[in-house]
Amino acid sequence: YLPPHRNQVSNHLKYLYNVHLTALKEQLQNIDYIGLTFDFWTSRRSVSFLCITGHWFDDKCLYFSKVIHFSSFNERHTGFNISRSVKEKLESLGIYHKVVAITCDGGQNLVSACSQLDGSIKRIWCCTHRLHLVIINSLGFWNIENKLDNNPTNCLTTEIPATTTSSFDVISNNQQELMDTSWSDENETGIYFISLVLSFNIKFEGLPIVS
């Protein structure tokens, strides 16, 4: 077996990209409305990628969900840069005027990016992201306990009580901004209950078992 040359593989991948991109544009021309979800992903080499997924129904009421754009994002993750990049990608696909809603997390940069797009596009906060915030902030799954290493051979032993560091102390400022635990921009039912749960920082440790 003689493997193909790397240039041949590269050219074939570019050919497949153009074929599927053309087919995607033709499919998107036949729809009237489309919803989007998008977010950023960072590799282990600290390379950021922007992924945009489209969701729509065709004329036969068949549901489709496809990745319509995936590329590296080398600019600063500001609301202006994100909105400009998203708008350019959607206009190149000819669907910018067809977008009715965008689902994303509550990061301030994404909220700002959505607000700078067309005013008719509604932003929806991802329910999965909300559930993630409730779990890590309310149940304390990211708590770190610092305990004294008891050495039986040490005659001078000083007992130091274990200290618990909450997730708010562990998470860096940048991560906290991306998580955006502020709920002030939402008016949906139940938001005050979730805020109350977060404020109590509920833990399962030591809870009695009710039979």
Domain shared by 119 and 31, yes or no:
yes
Please identify, among 125, 159, 175, the residue that sits at the C-terminal boundary of a domain.
Answer: 125
Domain identity same for 111 and 135: no
Q: Provide DSSP, 134-163.
A: HHHHHS-TT-EEE-----TT-SS------E
Q: Are residues 7 and 108 in the same domain?
A: yes
Single residue among 125, 154, 172 that ends a domain in this structure = 125
Residues 136 and 159 in one domain: yes
What confidence tens digit (pLDDT) does each residue in 4-50 have?
Answer: 999 999 999 999 999 999 999 999 999 999 999 998 888 888 899 99
pLDDT digits (tens, 9 = 90+) for 99-136: 999 999 888 899 999 999 988 999 998 888 888 888 88
Q: What is the pLDDT of residue 20?
A: 94
pTM above 0.85, yes or no: no
Domain that holds residue 53: 1-125
Q: Are residues 80 and 135 in the same domain?
A: no
Number of domains in the chain: 2
Pair 116, 198 in one domain:
no
Q: How far apart are CA 33 and CA 55, in angstroms?
A: 9
Q: Which of 17, 50, 34, 37 is nearest to 95 (CA)?
A: 34
Q: What is the CATH number of the domain that holds 96?
A: 3.30.420
Domain boundary (67, 100, 125) is at 125
